[in-house]
């Protein structure tokens, strides 16, 4: 290479480096730190959004109230919420009368569990594990973030400013059939495991429930919606297995007559 060409190359690289460093100094001067570009939905707006969805669910599904199953779910909720240090949500757990084995979270800390899931569970601890996982999605704001990503800004503004019913119905379908990405599922699992331990419920119940559903899935069951909306794999079950509780951890079983709960559905 000619010396003048080499000089040109070095000069060009120096100009490039100078531009980058200059840009960096400029950014440091004007922006104090990194920041997130995502449009933040406040908890108040999320609650408002949740209320709109609640009305829609009320119209579309039959909910279960004031029976043994509802009281069991409220008992589970009380235990889990008590174990949370702080939360911005006023959690509401509702049972939907439906054979599907599924549970989902809508904005505002509203968690819905299908009666099919309660019947598929063998103990209140297993239901608690699934609900703790859903609380993980709520606390980490996965539902709102996902909605924000998938919907156009216009749709979000429509919803936040009152809501066009047809837009809302479409969004609701999206929420119920929501599949989170692997990272979000894993984070919700981690949250659930820690919460279960704090609530004195054995974290193993999460893996146990999913393992059983996995086995059940070998014979195709169209009600196993939870497997589609919560895609999981051996890695996730492994994560549950590897979770170590503190040495002095002692689970406190729920005082719930599970047979009675199942019969009430």
**Does residue number 137 form part of the binding site for other proteins (CB under 8 A)?**
no
Q: How far apart are CA 9 and CA 209, in angstroms?
A: 63
C-beta of residue 227 within 8 angstroms of C-beta of residue 217: yes
Q: Which two tokens stand for residue 74?
A: 């409220």
Residues in the interface with other proteins (CB under 8 A) total 29
Name residues contacting other proteins, limited to 36-55 (CB under 8 A): 36-38
31 vs 220, beta carbon nearer other proteins:
31
Location of structure tokens 């709960």: 261
**Does residue number 28 form part of the binding site for other proteins (CB under 8 A)?**
yes
Closest residue by Cα to residue 128 from 239, 226, 225, 204: 204
**Does residue number 5 form part of the binding site for other proteins (CB under 8 A)?**
yes
Q: Which two tokens stand for residue 103?
A: 């549970």
Choose, by CB under 8 A, the member of 3, 24, 50, 177 that binds other proteins: 24
x/- binding map, residues 149-178, to other proteins, per CB under 8 A? x-----------------------------
90 vs 182, beta carbon nearer other proteins:
182
Q: Which two tokens stand for residue 96?
A: 């939907």
C-beta of residue 178 within 8 angstroms of C-beta of residue 62: no
141 vs 204, beta carbon nearer other proteins:
141
Which ranges of 68-198 does DSSP label H, i.e. alpha helix?
Answer: 68-83, 115-120, 124-139, 142-150, 153-160, 165-176, 182-198
Q: How far apart are CA 220 and CA 104, in angstroms?
A: 21
**Does residue number 11 form part of the binding site for other proteins (CB under 8 A)?**
yes
Location of structure tokens 């929501």: 178
Q: How far is the CB of 19 from other proteins (least distance, A)?
A: 5
**Does residue number 12 form part of the binding site for other proteins (CB under 8 A)?**
yes
**Does residue number 31 form part of the binding site for other proteins (CB under 8 A)?**
yes
Stretch of 79-87, 102-110, 126-134, 140-148 contacting other proteins, by CB under 8 A: 140-148
**Does residue number 27 form part of the binding site for other proteins (CB under 8 A)?**
yes
Q: How far apart are CA 23 and CA 21, in angstroms?
A: 5
Q: Using CB atoms within 10 A of its CB, is residue 38 exposed (0-12), middle (13-18) or buried (19+)?
A: exposed
Stretch of 4-12, 84-92, 125-133, 249-257 contacting other proteins, by CB under 8 A: 4-12
Catalog residues that contact other proteins under the rule CB under 8 A.
2, 4-5, 8-9, 11-12, 16, 19-20, 22-24, 26-28, 31, 33-38, 142, 145-146, 149, 183-184
């Amino acid at each position: 290479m000619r010396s003048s060409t080499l000089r040109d190359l070095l000069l060009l690289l120096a100009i490039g480096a100078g531009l980058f460093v200059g840009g960096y100094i400029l950014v440091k001067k004007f922006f104090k730190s990194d920041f997130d570009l995502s449009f933040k939905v406040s908890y108040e707006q999320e609650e408002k959004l949740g209320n709109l969805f609640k009305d829609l669910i009320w119209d579309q599904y039959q909910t279960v109230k004031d029976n043994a199953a509802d009281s069991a779910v409220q008992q589970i909720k009380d235990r889990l919420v008590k174990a949370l240090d702080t939360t911005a949500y006023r959690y509401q757990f509702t049972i939907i009368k439906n054979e599907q084995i599924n549970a989902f979270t809508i904005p505002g800390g509203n968690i819905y569990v299908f009666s099919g899931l309660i019947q598929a569970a063998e103990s209140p601890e297993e239901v608690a594990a699934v609900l703790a996982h859903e609380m993980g999605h709520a606390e980490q704001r996965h539902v709102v973030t996902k909605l924000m990503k998938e919907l156009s800004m216009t749709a979000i503004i429509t919803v936040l400013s009152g809501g066009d019913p047809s837009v809302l119905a479409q969004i609701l379908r999206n929420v119920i059939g929501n599949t989170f990405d692997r990272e979000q599922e894993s984070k919700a699992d981690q949250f659930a495991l820690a919460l279960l331990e704090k609530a004195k419920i054995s974290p193993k119940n999460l893996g146990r429930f999913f393992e059983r559903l996995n086995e059940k899935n070998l014979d195709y069951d169209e009600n196993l919606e939870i497997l589609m909306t919560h895609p999981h794999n051996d890695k996730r079950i492994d994560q549950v297995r590897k979770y170590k509780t503190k040495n002095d951890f002692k689970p406190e079983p729920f005082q719930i007559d599970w047979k009675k709960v199942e019969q009430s559905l």
